[in-house]
Structure 1
Amino acid sequence: MVDRWLSGRDGVNVRGAAVVSATIDFRRAGYLGPIPRKWIKEACVAYLERRDARRLSNVDFRAALEWATQRVHGASSCITNADDDRYIAFDYLVDYVQSKWSHDSEGHDDESQPIFFADLATIPEEIWHTLADNVTSDDPQFLSCISAASVSAHPGIELRFNHALRSGEVNADQFNNSNQLLALARMCLRLSVCITCEVLVLGLDLKVLIDTLFETLRPLLKSPRVQPGANEIDAIVILDALANDNTLNAVDSPIFEATSHIEQGDLAGLAQLLRQYDLTDTAELWERRAENRATPQPEPVSRVDHDLSGRRVLWVKSKH
């Protein structure tokens, strides 16, 4: 699939390759679900020479989409029609772009610009503007798009969200649901942004995310022999990341409070599950959390409430 896409970019089918590139970059910009055909058509011109972009007709676009969705030798296509004329890029292509960019940026030494900022800067403005114009607050990908846009040079959707919050047009509580919070957490992982910080900045309920993650893992917690699917693997990785900032067992931390209602057996079961995947460091932290759950904790003498309005709290993972 990579060879087909790259050969398309090199002249075999530049319009088809542009359709693939746009579909990939919508995902990189935070829209993790299938992309509407209309959005792809609007944004794919960013990957074409100006003359070709002006001359892109409906017939040309249909042909480009057909090329992009064509299976090669019975294998997967570059993008697939997921449902209702919505398309999603082949996972390996998205991973390829991310890994290639990361490899090309190994010499990145500009401390004023974290790597993921520079990564998002390679996404054309047409992608960001299409998302800002079309993603609605009831879309499950809304929060993940906000998270990505907020650390990009095109924060339009975040500014619109903040205005809607201030005006009362939307209420933060409406985003405290499993679909929105999971999409947000997945995007935070990709950006190496602290999940806890992002949830707090947006005024959301960390406890709802924790409940969602443990419910997702319920089958594995009951029987470790159950084979995990994509959602279960995501939940494991997110819970691993949530413990990685070393505040899981600090009595006055948000993550401690958000896990205070989780049963001791579930906390211990998560630790066991993490050990199965050789995530021993965070497994030990969750084991300690299980022990703390069994022991009454004193109320903190004071709690510092940080003013998070108007600023972005980031935590970039160490690269090993």
Structure 2
Amino acid sequence: MTFLGSLPVAVGSSSAVLAAAATFFTAIAKPLADLPKLAIKHKGEQHEILRAMKASGLLTDKPLKKLDLYRDLRAHSAMRAAGAHYVTPYISRSIDQELDAKMKEDHLVLIEGDSASGKTRTAFEAVKRYSHTLKYSLRIVIPQDGATLRTAVRAGYSFKNKILWLDDLERFLSPDGLDDGLLRVLASGDLKTVVVATIRAKQRETLSEQFISVGERANLQVPEVQRLLLNFTATYLSKELDQSELFDAYKLRGDPRIAFALDSHNNGYGVIELIAAGPAVLQRWLTGSEGGNRLGAALVSAAVDIYRAGYQAQIPEDWLKAACVGYLTKEDVAADPKANFEDAFLWATEKVHGANSCLIKGDSRSFKAFDYLVDYAQNKATISRSAGGDEEQINFARVSTIPGEVWHTLADNLPVDSPYFLSCSLMASMRGHPIMELIIQKKIEEGIIDKDYYKDGRRLVGLANACIVQKVCVPCAFLKKGLSMDLLFNELHKRLEELYLNGNSESASTTIFLLEFLAFKTNMLEKGTAIRMAAESVPSEFSFRVGQLMESQQRLDAAQIWYSLACELGVIQATERLVAIEQSLND
């Protein structure tokens, strides 16, 4: 697998473009610090890749004035009304001034809120206000996903003095996409790129958990994705308008959609989500499963749960047809003998009040669930810690209602080298469906997959990071799958050597975050454990050098643990550093 990974089938024709890019960049993969040299040495090839990416729609670069709010920026459409412009007047939000300051000073803007709270529109208006302060025409760069963004950066694409638009930030956080190092390059002072991103509150909550204590010090332990989020100071946008926002909205009652939302918002829904027809789309889905259109509702349910299962790309039509069976009883089928997929898809993709639909059409007969419905399902399935749920109960609750047909559909269709495979496999295991693990084993036995599939160090690091994101114990997951922790540590040792040798590496941030996580979330200092024996399988100097790395990045608690391990393994020079670290922590 290349550093770009393999894109799922759902991407369609665009996968051929990225596949070509992946082949090219595998041969020239270098640290991000070498990007200028790459741009010169491979100018012809890079130009061809960038041209293909733009021609295929993988990368959009347009002047601000030519952007379509709904088509280009993926904002939720507003309800249609006779005589009204298809874009509603903007209702000023209380966070506008805060966003204006961040655009000018921080160059990193993240708006967090529930689906249909107005995140994308609010961000767009902030960009428009920012453009009025500039002496040049502002352009917006919109990559389709994280792999596209990384490919563009490596190809020397110019982001200077532009807005990088990352709507639904979680879409860009795949293993081959946006990470902490790449974000730092993009937001550097030389490029003057302003990164504008949005994220659903529920998704950020999942990615950002959790605080743990080490001694008397509170530390936020974060894997790579969570570390990236710390670069942003998120601005929260409520879907409920405050008094000043309502006052502004009432001045815009001349628009019939705003007037309708204001007259209806006291029934428990916010003005913005009413304008986007969120509650109406939700009602269509729920009533469909009760008899409105059972097959159509089942297709929507399958799309919602495939997303919740860990697959966050466009879903092929055939996958939905296969998975929807899990939402239909014999009585459902008997009640509507004339049901057919053509009519069901038409029903599921029909826009409610001219705004949004239950299923959003993609390319090549692929679909995605309206994220408002995903939020509803996730909220319904969540057990809170405050209610007494432990980690295992919380994880199980997230996926407990997903039927077996979803897991089997993913196992039958998702390539094992897809960036989503390991995540989906872990979620399936939590639900008690080891089918995806069994598929890998079967393909190994049949010779379709190399018997050393699980001996590839990069894949083991990917699995470890997937465990962290899904909050699964790394040593437990490895032992359950019969995988070698020794090989994981050998890969980490190799990566650490590359980091010291080159001063940077393709996998630097992934390596650092995983090493920090292993320090805090495993019993590495306890002799005889699997993680301790794996740490002992590499040269003892490894632990000392990890301690040095953690100390250099001011991750002192992690450095303390690694230096302690180095002392126990007989590294003499570790003692002095351990004493110094302990003094710093006690000051």
What code does the residue aligned with 1:197 have? C
Partner of 2:551: 268
2:340 paired residue among 49, 53, 57: 57
- Structure with greater proportional strand content: 2
The alpha-carbon deviation at position 123 of structure 1 amounts to: 0.8
| Greater Cα shift, 171-180 or 197-206 | 171-180
| Greater Cα shift, 12-21 or 204-213 | 204-213
What code does the residue aligned with 1:22 have? A
* Identity between Structure 1 and Structure 2 (%): 29
Q: Write out per-residue CA displacement over residues 23-54 of structure 1, whole angstroms, 9 at most, x where no aligned residue.
A: 22113334344322210122234335623675
Distance 1:23 1:17, change over 3 A: same
What code does the residue aligned with 2:413 have? N
RMSD over aligned Cα, in angstroms?
5.0
Partner of 1:3: 279
Partner of 1:206: 488
Distance 1:198 1:268, change over 3 A: same
The alpha-carbon deviation at position 257 of structure 1 amounts to: 6.4
The alpha-carbon deviation at position 130 of structure 1 amounts to: 1.6
The alpha-carbon deviation at position 91 of structure 1 amounts to: 5.7
1:130 aligns with 2:409: yes
Distance 1:55 1:208 in 2: 59
1:247 aligns with 2:526: no
Structure 2 portions without partners, runs of 5+: 1-114, 116-277, 572-587
The alpha-carbon deviation at position 124 of structure 1 amounts to: 1.6
Distance 2:417 2:318 in 1: 19
* 8 Å CA contact retained: 1:199, 1:206: no
1:140 paired residue among 383, 406, 419: 419
TM-score, normalised to structure 2, is 0.36
What code does the residue aligned with 2:558 have? W
Distance 2:524 2:390 in 1: 31
What code does the residue aligned with 1:137 have? V
What is the SS of the residue equivalent to 1:198?
Answer: helix
The alpha-carbon deviation at position 63 of structure 1 amounts to: 0.9
* 8 Å CA contact retained: 2:457, 2:488: no
Distance 2:440 2:492 in 1: 24
What code does the residue aligned with 1:66 have? T
What is the SS of the residue equivalent to 2:433?
Answer: coil
| Greater Cα shift, 146-155 or 33-42 | 146-155
2:378 paired residue among 94, 98, 107: 98
Q: How does 1:162-241 map to 2 (within 5 A)?
A: 162-165=441-444, 169-171=448-450, 173-174=452-453, 176=456, 182=462, 185-186=465-466, 189-190=469-470, 192-202=471-481, 203=483, 205-207=487-489, 241=517
Partner of 1:279: none
Distance 1:62 1:245, change over 3 A: same
Distance 2:435 2:322 in 1: 17
* 8 Å CA contact retained: 2:308, 2:399: yes
1:288 paired residue among 545, 560, 568: 560
| Greater Cα shift, 122-131 or 181-190 | 181-190
* 8 Å CA contact retained: 1:33, 1:88: yes
Distance 1:232 1:142, change over 3 A: same
1:29 paired residue among 309, 316, 322: 309
What code does the residue aligned with 1:60 have? D
Partner of 2:55: none
2:428 paired residue among 149, 156, 161: 149
Q: Who wins on radius of gyration, i.e. which is larger?
A: 2
Structure 1 portions without partners, runs of 5+: 223-230, 273-282, 300-320
Distance 2:308 2:355 in 1: 24
What is the SS of the residue equivalent to 1:244?
Answer: helix
Distance 1:83 1:177, change over 3 A: farther
Distance 1:295 1:110, change over 3 A: closer
